[in-house]
Amino acid sequence: MTTSQTSQKSQRSQKSQILEGSQAISQTINNIKPAVISAYPITPQTHIVEDLAKLKADGRADYEYVRAESEFAAASIVAGASAAGARVYTATSSQGLLLMTEVLFNIAGMRLPVVLTCANRGVSAPITIWNDHQDSMTIRDAGWIMLFAENHQEAVAQHILAYKIAEKVKLPVMVNIDGFVLTHTYEDVVVPTEREIKKFLPRYIPAKGEYLDIKNPITMGAFAAPAYYMEIRQELHDDLMASGRTIKAEYDNLKKIIPEAMKKNEKAAKISNGLVEYYGPRNPKVVLIAMGSLVGTIKDVIDESKEAGVLKIKCFRPFPSAEVMSIIKKAGRVAVVEKAISLGSTGPLALEIMAAATGTGMNINDYITGLGGRDVTREMIKNIIADKGQGGEAPKFVGK
């Protein structure tokens, strides 16, 4: 077989590889073909942008790689490039995400289809470099679609899906992956080829009037007097809520393009779409609800239990209240297990579940765990399943 034939064969079908999570994401982004990438290194996101810089330096990438002096600058650079009509990418973590906050609100308000990877990490003080979800939960009201990945393969799929959704509904998308737990570990993963991705995600060509063009002037992020501001924000909210239907539809389309890779994510799941996944018995006595890599540990425990199931929230914004309720409505007890706390209240995921279940009288308890990278063990999960919480109680911190 000639070198040319080998190259053509590899373009037709990418085989499974053992990759670090960051490398799987960087290869996926390269195959998606953004025009502009800008980021500032911060642990544990750094390997992603280092890999992307190396791909560019080695001549294996065509994007413009713009070095920035801060996360605020990186977000501003991709905002400007997106406003000019380019497909863009950035990544960050923790304090870096918070430094971007002002720009993140502007990106959503200007309806720019930016895709950002957040390698989730706790926030200061005290200083931590390890994983929890308090960074992304802090900016959950910025107007972004927010996806959470359980493993490397799901992270790959969600980045491809993110671009399709962002460019279709004109909303930015944040893909959340647990820092170190996914970014720095190695797993068996399939990275779809450029050709496979292009079948689902064609070259980005924004419509006339959707980007800055001196030949067709438009205004983005204009000054809005009180007579207009509320309606503009309501439109953003309504479109964000409506994007759930598009996420589900495009997730089904993606499964047709890369079926082998998608099947790796959905093995043994009773229900799985772009918003949620349910794993466990059909009529569980208790349903655990969680996001991110934590779900993998819970599934291991569920395999030994005949009473419990786990509902994975893949999409936190828009929050899939209807899908959640359809799964948990028959459960005797609901245990929300999350890596974040809304200080002075309860966990942000529990707040959403409780709001969705208003008036049902459901027994819902919140368990805060894994903050600052604390290990979440199988024994902790077993204790949560066995707990006899009566609902409405203060959040329980597990793992002290």
pLDDT of residue 269: 87
pLDDT of residue 263: 77
Percent of the chain surpassing pLDDT 70: 96
pLDDT of residue 10: 40
Interval 291-341: pLDDT, tens: 999 999 999 999 998 899 999 999 999 999 999 999 999 899 999 999 999
- Over residues 112-121, mean pLDDT: 98
Low-confidence winner among 44-58, 360-374, 382-396 (lowest mean pLDDT): 382-396
> Do residues 297 and 381 lie in contact, with contact meaning Cβ atoms separated by under 8 Å?
yes
The vertex-253 CA angle with 247 and 255, nearest 5°, equals: 105
Say yes or no: 29 and 175 in one domain: yes
DSSP secondary structure string for all residues of 262-287 = HHHHHTT-SEE-SSEEEES-SS-SEE
Say yes or no: 61 and 154 in one domain: yes
Q: Report CA torsion sign: 91, 96, 99, 101.
A: positive
* Domain harbouring 348, CATH code: 3.40.50.920
Say yes or no: 286 and 195 in one domain: no
In a domain, 257, yes or no: no
Number of domains, the chain:
2
pLDDT at 88 over 90: yes
In a domain, 349, yes or no: yes
- The torsion angle over the Cα atoms of residues 325, 328, 329 and 335, rounded to 10 degrees, is -110
In a domain, 190, yes or no: yes
Say yes or no: 176 and 297 in one domain: no
Say yes or no: 185 and 297 in one domain: no
Burial class (CB in 10 A: 0-12, 13-18, 19+), 303: exposed
pLDDT at 80 over 90: yes
Give the whole-angstrom CA distance, residue 400 versus residue 240: 37
In a domain, 389, yes or no: yes
Structural element, H or E, at residue 260: helix 259-266
Please tell me which residue, 25 or 7, carries the higher pLDDT value. 25
In a domain, 253, yes or no: no
In a domain, 236, yes or no: no
Question: Domain boundary residue among 150, 183, 200?
Answer: 200
Give the whole-angstrom CA distance, residue 118 versus residue 96: 9
Residue 35 structural domain: 11-200
pLDDT at 105 over 90: yes
The vertex-96 CA angle with 291 and 170, nearest 5°, equals: 65
* Domain harbouring 160, CATH code: 3.40.50.970
pLDDT at 14 over 80: no
Report DSSP state, residue 388: -
Using 50, 70 and 90 to split pLDDT, how confident is the model at 87?
very high
Interval 232-249: pLDDT, tens: 999 999 999 999 999 999
pLDDT at 11 over 50: no
Say yes or no: 169 and 306 in one domain: no
Question: Domain boundary residue among 146, 181, 200?
Answer: 200
Question: Domain boundary residue among 200, 219, 239?
Answer: 200
Say yes or no: 191 and 286 in one domain: no
- The torsion angle over the Cα atoms of residues 155, 340, 45 and 127, rounded to 10 degrees, is -170
Say yes or no: 178 and 33 in one domain: yes
- Taking the alpha carbons at both ends of the chain, their separation in whole angstroms is 59
Say yes or no: 190 and 283 in one domain: no
Scan for tokens 């063009």, then name that residue: 213
Say yes or no: 138 and 278 in one domain: no
Beta bridge partners of 337: 367
Residues whose CB is less than 8 angstroms from the CB of residue 106 and which lie 6 or more positions away in sequence, other chains included: 79, 221
Using 50, 70 and 90 to split pLDDT, how confident is the model at 75?
very high
Q: Report CA torsion sign: 2, 31, 183, 95.
A: positive
Give the whole-angstrom CA distance, residue 99 versus residue 348: 21
